[in-house]
Structure 1
Amino acid sequence: MNTPKSNRTDKIITNITAILASVILVALAVWGTRTLLFMNKYEETNDAQVDEYINPVTAKVSGYIKEIKFEENQEVHRGDTLLVIDNSDYIVQQREAEAALVNARAQISVLESNTNTMNQVAKVSKSQIEAAKARLWKQEQEYIRYKNLFEAESVTGQQFENVKTALDVAKSEYQATLDAYSASLAKVHDTQVQKDVASAEIKRREAIVGKNKLDVSYTIITAPYDGKMGRRTIQPGQLILIGQTLGFIVDHEAGKWVIANFKETQVRNMYVGENVEIEIDAFPDEIFKGKIESLSAATGSRFSLLPPDNSTGNFVKIAQRIPVRIRLEGDKKGLGILSAGMSANVSVKKGRNHQNG
C-alpha cells in the first residue's frame, strides 16, 4: 500500500523544521554561552563616543573682513592664515603712536640740554659766592677800621656812614649770590624731575606702540595648531567684533579619546592604565586599542546644569553613569578616520591582574 503524497510532504517538512529548530537552538546556545562568557570576563557599554577638542576661532580685534582663506572641513596646519582683517585703521594708530614716542624721546634730549645749562649756571653762581664773600670780608675789615677812627674822631660821620652802607651792600650781595646758587640747584632738580616724568612717558608710549603692533598682528588670524576646520559663520566684507566666533577648529595635535559612560556597578575594578578594546559603529570590522586615562570624580548627572536633588521627594533609584576617559592608541593616520561624536562600544576586562593582558 503506497503512502499518500501529502503525508510524505508533511514528513519532509517536519524533518526540515526539526533540523532548523535544532540548528537555531544550537546557535542560540552557542551565542548565549559566548555572551555569558563575555559578560563574565568583560564589562561593556555602548554609551560611549569619540571625542576631540573642538575650539572656536575668535577675533582679538574688530574690523571688516578683507579675505577668508579657509573653507569648511579644510585640513589646516599650525600657522596657516585663516582670515585677514582690514588693518588700515590700526596702521594709522601705530604710526601715530610711533610719532608720539619719537616726540617723547626728543623731550628727553631737550631736558638733558637744560640740565647741563642749569649745572653751568649753578657753577657760575657758586664762583660768585666766593667773590661776594671776599668783598664782604674786605668791607667788614674796612668797617672795623673806620669805626675805630670814628671813635677816635679821626674821620667824619659821613665817611663812617659811607663805609657802613658799603658793608650792608656787600652783605646783600653775598646773600643774593647764595640765593642765586640755591635757585640754580633747585632748577637742576626740577629739570631732573621733568626728565623722570618724560622717561615714564616714554615707557607709556612704548607700551602703546607695542599694543598697536599687537593689534596689527591680530588682523591676521592663523591656525593655532594642526587640525580641521568646522562650520564657518562669516563672509568677506562682514564687520566682526572683538571676541566674535569666526569658525571652529578640531585640534588634531591633542589627540583623540573616548568617553565611555559605565554604570556605577561596572567601574569598581577599573583602574588608570587598564587596556581597553573599542569598536566604532562606523567601522564594525575594526577593533581599536586604548587605555583608561582617568575616571570621573563624580557621576555624569552631578555635572549637569541642574543636578538632581533627591531631597525634593521625587527620588527614583537609577543606576548612575560614571564617565571614563580612554586614550586611543595608534598612529595618527590610523586614528584619522575617527571623528568626534562617533558612537562606540567599549569593553574592559574584569579583575585587577591583567594590566598587560
Structure 2
Amino acid sequence: MSRSVLRFLFFVFIPFFAGIAIYIYLRGLDHSVSTENAYVKADHVTISNYVESSVVEVLVREYQTVDAGQVLLRLDQSMQILNVKKKQSNLVEIKATLTSLQANYREKEAEVELYRERVAYADQELKRLVSLSRTHNIAQSAVDASVHEKNRSELALTIAKEQLASIKAKLDGEPGQAFSSYADYRQAKAELDHAVYLLNKTVIKAPLSGVVANLPSLGDFLDEGEAIATIFSNSGFWVEANYTEKAISGIRVGQKALVTFDLYPGKEWKGSVVGLSPATKSEFSLFPAQNTDGRWIKVAQRVSVLISLDDDDRYNIFPLKTGLSATSTIILSE
C-alpha cells in the first residue's frame, strides 16, 4: 500500500471513527446519570418497651432470622399480673355498685308511687271531711288531722322524688341501661383492658420477618419506652441514591435504572425509579445548610431518589444487606 493511501487513512478514517465513538459516548452520558452515593435500604422496625421490667427469658440469639409473630424474649410479669387483678376487682366493685343502685332505683320508684297514692287519698279524705263539716257536726280536730296527714304524705313524696332523682343521676340518667352504658363501668373496663394490654406486652414478639439485632441480655432492666431490639427485613430491598441537584433535572418516576453493589463486583441489578424526595438531604438535618455570613461557600446539594429492585432469583445467591454501598445509573431516555 502506498504511503499516500496510508496517510489518507490515518488523517481521515481514524478521526472519523474516533469522532463516532466520542459521539456515542457523549450521547450515552446525556441519556443517563450515575452516582456512587447510593445505599441499600429495607424495612426495619425498632421494638420499644411498654412496661418497666427485667428480662427473664431470651429465646433468640443475635442476628438470628425470625418469623413475624415469633416470641423473642419475655419480661417479668409479676407487677403486671397484680395490676390486672387490681383492675378486675375494681370492675367487680363497680358492677356491684351499679347493681345496687339499679335495685335502689326500682325500690324508690315503688316508694314514690306509694306516696303518690297516699297524697291522692289524703287529699280526697280532706275534701270529704271539709264537705261533711258544713252539714254535720264534725270536730275541727278531725279536719286538722286530715290536713296534717296530707302535708306529711306530700312531704314524704317530695323526699322520695329527690332520692329517686339522686339515684338516677348516679346511673347517668338511664337506670335501665346495661352496665357497658355507664361511664364508671366503661372507665373501669378500659383500665382493665389497658392492664391486660400491658401484661401482654411483657411477651416480646417480632412484628415482621427478618433478622433481629441489638437484643438485651438476660436480667437487664428495661425502662418504659426503651428500645428492646431491631428487626431488619430480609426481603423487599430498595436503593436510596443521592444525586446532585444538577443531575436530577431529567429524573422521572418510572425510568429504568441499573444498580451494582460493592459487595458483588461485576453483578448488575435492574430496577426503576419509584420516588424523588421533596427536599434536599440537608433540609432533613438538624442544622440545614444555610449560611448568611460573608464566609459562605456554595456546596452542591443532593436529593434522594428511591429505586426499587426488580425481583430476581439472584437475591437467593447474592443476598443483600441494609446499608451496603451501591452505584446507580438511571436511564433518562431509551
TM-score w.r.t. structure 1 length?
0.78
Map 1:95-134; keep pairs closer than 5 Å: 95-134=85-124
Please tell me whether the aligned partners of residues 142 and 163 of structure 1 are also in contact (alpha carbons under 8 angstroms).
Answer: no
User: Which stretch has the larger CA shift, 59-68 or 170-179?
Assistant: 170-179
The C-alpha deviation readout for 1:80-104, integer Å capped at 9, x for no partner, is 1112111111111111211221121
Q: Does 1:174 align with 2:147?
A: no
| Offset of residue 331 of structure 1 | 4.4
Q: Tell me which residue corresponds to 2:129.
A: 139
Given candidates 192, 195, 204, the residue that maps to 1:221 is 204
Is the alpha carbon distance of 1:99 and 1:314 closer, same or farther for their aligned partners in structure 2, counting shifts above 3 Å? same
SS of 2:248 mapped into structure 1: coil
Given candidates 281, 301, 308, the residue that maps to 1:327 is 308
| Offset of residue 238 of structure 1 | 1.6
| Offset of residue 220 of structure 1 | 0.7
Q: Does 1:190 align with 2:166?
A: yes
Q: Tell me which residue corresponds to 2:15.
A: none
Is the alpha carbon distance of 1:61 and 1:333 closer, same or farther for their aligned partners in structure 2, counting shifts above 3 Å? farther
| Offset of residue 249 of structure 1 | 1.4
2:228, 2:313 → 1: CA distance?
27
| Offset of residue 53 of structure 1 | 3.2
SS of 2:249 mapped into structure 1: coil
2:297, 2:275 → 1: CA distance?
29
SS of 2:46 mapped into structure 1: strand
Is the alpha carbon distance of 1:238 and 1:130 closer, same or farther for their aligned partners in structure 2, counting shifts above 3 Å? same
Q: Does 1:348 align with 2:330?
A: yes
Q: Does 1:265 align with 2:241?
A: no
Which AA in structure 2 matches 1:328?
L
Q: Tell me which residue corresponds to 2:217.
A: 235
Aligned residues: 306
Given candidates 178, 183, 189, the residue that maps to 1:200 is 183
1:302, 1:190 → 2: CA distance?
61
Which AA in structure 2 matches 1:345?
T
Please tell me whether the aligned partners of residues 35 and 241 of structure 2 are also in contact (alpha carbons under 8 angstroms).
Answer: yes
Q: Tell me which residue corresponds to 1:5.
A: none
| Offset of residue 41 of structure 1 | 4.3
Which AA in structure 1 matches 2:288?
P
1:37, 1:212 → 2: CA distance?
67
Q: Does 1:210 align with 2:193?
A: yes
1:333, 1:224 → 2: CA distance?
27
The C-alpha deviation readout for 1:63-118, integer Å capped at 9, x for no partner, is 11111122111111110111211111111111121122112111222222222222
1:119, 1:177 → 2: CA distance?
16
1:41, 1:299 → 2: CA distance?
23
| Offset of residue 334 of structure 1 | 1.5
Please tell me whether the aligned partners of residues 256 and 271 of structure 2 are also in contact (alpha carbons under 8 angstroms).
Answer: yes
Is the alpha carbon distance of 1:308 and 1:200 closer, same or farther for their aligned partners in structure 2, counting shifts above 3 Å? closer
Please tell me whether the aligned partners of residues 209 and 231 of structure 2 are also in contact (alpha carbons under 8 angstroms).
Answer: no
1:111, 1:172 → 2: CA distance?
33
| Offset of residue 240 of structure 1 | 0.8
**Structure 2: gaps (5+ residues):** 1-17, 174-178
Map 1:36-75; keep pairs closer than 5 Å: 38-75=28-65
Which AA in structure 2 matches 1:212?
A
| Offset of residue 324 of structure 1 | 1.4
Q: Tell me which residue corresponds to 1:94.
A: 84
TM-score w.r.t. structure 2 length?
0.83
RMSD: 2.5
Please tell me whether the aligned partners of residues 109 and 164 of structure 2 are also in contact (alpha carbons under 8 angstroms).
Answer: yes
Q: Does 1:317 align with 2:295?
A: no
SS of 1:297 mapped into structure 2: strand
2:42, 2:284 → 1: CA distance?
19
Q: Tell me which residue corresponds to 1:154.
A: none
Which AA in structure 2 matches 1:228?
V
Which AA in structure 2 matches 1:298?
A
**Structure 1: gaps (5+ residues):** 1-28, 147-159
| Offset of residue 37 of structure 1 | 6.4
SS of 1:268 mapped into structure 2: helix
1:202, 1:179 → 2: CA distance?
35
Is the alpha carbon distance of 1:326 and 1:182 closer, same or farther for their aligned partners in structure 2, counting shifts above 3 Å? same
Q: Tell me which residue corresponds to 1:4.
A: none
| Offset of residue 134 of structure 1 | 3.1
